[in-house]
Structure formats: C-alpha cells, structure tokens
Structure 1
Amino acid sequence: MKRSAAAATLSLFACAFLASPAQAKDKDAQFFQTVEGQWVGPGEIVAGKYKGTKFVCTLDGSTPAEKAGMTLDGSCRVGIFNQPMKATIVRAGNSYKGSFLDGSAGKGLDITGGNVSGNRVVLAISRKQLNGAMQAKFNDDNTMNVTISVRLDEALIPVVGMTLKRVDGTAVGSIAEN
C-alpha cells in the first residue's frame, strides 16, 4: 500500500515540465528545450499519510519535433521498489494537455493547464476529485526544484518536494529569472 501511494504521489512531480500557450511560443519552446537530457534527484513526501517517505528518480527528457511539448520517461525508486514514470504533454489549441502514466481515468494524472514564466512553470493537475498545482523552478541550467501541492479547502498544501540535477553534458541556454 505504501508503495502505490508513494508512486501516485510521485506521479504529480512528473508534470513539472509542461507549459502554457499564454506565453510566446518561442519562450515555451526554450523552456522545454532546457529540460532535455538526463535528470537524477532525490525527493521526499513532506505531508500526509506517507510523510517522510524518500525516493530517487532518474528521467530522460525529450521534446517532440512537430509540436510544443515534452516527454519525460524513466523511473523512481522508493526503497527496493522501482516505479516506471512517464509524462507526455503537447500543445492542444490554446492550451497544453497531458497525462502521467495512463491519466486520471487510470492510475495517473491529467495536466489541465499551466503557465511558463522565466525560469519556472506552474501547472494545474487533476485526478478525480484531487486538484492541485506543481511548480518547477530552475535555480541554474543544471538544477531544478519541484514542489507539488494539493488543494485543501482554499489552501494549497505542499505534499512533495524534490531536486533534480542534470547528469548528462547537454548544453542549454540560460533561462531568464522573474
């Protein structure tokens, strides 16, 4: 039970690499390109029933050739258990749509919107009656902090935090801070 709950919570962070069309297409494309490559990092569930559960993720980021978007594919490890992780997001009209694993109709999540601003992205996430937000912020070209929060009444409560480090030699352009 602990493994599946931790995996479900971890699924929220995979959405960190999605953007909104409200920003200029070039800015979104630049943000997506910045997350291309290999990423590794630790994280922790910081609230709720599984508070204190630690995990480590290894992810490969890529961008589609024809549409703005991102795919992350890899796994997260909790103790001796390894959970596949895959998130795909693409521009759909005036918005971005995406899913983690098999979306909210299965065991995953839906991405329902978001906004890229400088060195960060904030996304709306949904699974059945659970709504929340994910924020990913680049501290520099090779370090990204991810926070996932769930909505409880009118407040957003942080649930998962992690830091990913780039582990390949992918050269990226700097992201402007806001």
Structure 2
Amino acid sequence: MGMKHRIAAALLSAAAFAAPAQAADQAFFSNVSGVWTGPGEIVAGKYQGTKFNCSLTGTPVADAEAGIAMDGSCRVGVFSQKMSAVIRKVSGDYEGRFLDGAAGEGLDITAGRVDGDRVLMAIERKQLEGAMVARMLDANTMNVTVSVNVGDSMVPVIGMTLARNLDTMAVGSVQ
C-alpha cells in the first residue's frame, strides 16, 4: 500500500471514530438544553454549608462542533448572583468559561469530554485547578459537582441537583 493510501486510510479511520463521538457530544448538550432549577450547597471551604437555589437556561451554541450556553442566576436568601457558562467544542477540544473566565471573576474551561450521560470539564483559575462533572440522572434531573485539586486528591466543593422545568417546554397534541 502506497503512502497516499495509508494516509487516506488513517484519515478515514479517524473520521469513523470522530463522527460517532461528535454525535454523542451533540446529543448530550441537546439533552441539557432547556430551563433547569434546583438547590445546591457549598460543601467545603470558607462558605461551607451555604445553601442556594439556581435557575438556569441552556441553549446549544451554534458556532461550535458541540456545546451549550447556560445563563441565569443563583440565589442565597435575598441575594441573587448572575450565573453564566459557555462550553464549546472547537477543533476536537473543549474550551469555555464560567462567568467572565479566569481573567475576571470566573473560571476557564480548558479541556473536557462527554462520556454517555455525563460530561467532565477541566476548570482553572490562577493556581486553582479542578473539574466540573454534570451527570444526567434521568431525562429531567441533572447533578452537577465542582471539585478542586488539593494535593493528590479532588475535593468536592459545590453540589447541585437541577430539575428540568417542564412548564417551559412546548407541548403538542395529536388530533
């Protein structure tokens, strides 16, 4: 087999694996689209024990291979904080940000992957490194955990359980 044929075979082989992976990524983020509400808690650190409630709306991103933009707010008592995240897969790699990214008050997403019913994203801010895991428990329930790297361990610091707000979904009828 000539060099051109080997290169073509390698590219076709890689494309055969990439297409199903990209379809799985798109399917996951499509499933996450919609309005989500639910409680969360800071489970470690300075604000350990702080409980909050969030309302977030997810929409697919159009300028990427896969991804989602989440916007909304989280409330602690009478105080409300705007929340946003953008996760995008570009050229096979994940990137994005929480809030305004690590250059501002938020976090950068530096890598990630979709694995069936869950997504794992690497997050960074200055010397802080960690991970965000979002897992679909069923079609209408999602758990989100944010953990940080402490020594050789990943320590969970934030946990949330979000429920899909079905009142905002379009419903049709059969005549």
User: Which TM-score band applies after superposition, normalised by the shorter structure?
Assistant: 0.7 to 0.9
Amino acid at match of 1:96: Y
1:155 alignment partner in structure 2 = 153
Cα separation, 2, equivalents of 1:91 and 1:23 = 14
More helix by share: 2
Q: Is the 8 A contact 2:102 2:125 kept in 1?
A: yes
Residue 98 of structure 1 corresponds to 96
Give the alignment's TM-score, normalised by structure 2. Answer: 0.82
Q: Which runs of 5+ in 2 are unaligned?
A: 1-17, 171-175
- Deviations, residues 11-45 of structure 1 (Å, cap 9, x unaligned): xxxxxxxxxx8971100000000011100000001
Residues 53-110 of structure 1: CA deviation (Å, up to 9, x unaligned): 0000000000023422110010000111100011112222220110112110011110
Equivalent of residue 108 in structure 2, options 107, 110, 114: 110
Superposed, which structure 2 residues align to 1:1-178 within 5 Å? 24-67=21-64, 68-168=66-166, 170=169
In 2, the alpha carbon distance for the partners of 1:51 and 1:143 equals: 24
Off by >4 Å, runs of 4+ in structure 1: none
Point out where structure 1 has 5 or more consecutive residues left out of the alignment.
1-20, 172-178
Amino acid at match of 1:136: A
Q: Distance in 2 between matches of 1:145 and 1:23?
A: 25
Root mean square deviation, CA, Å: 1.7
Cα distance in 1 for partners of 2:109, 2:43 equals 22
Q: How many residues align?
A: 151
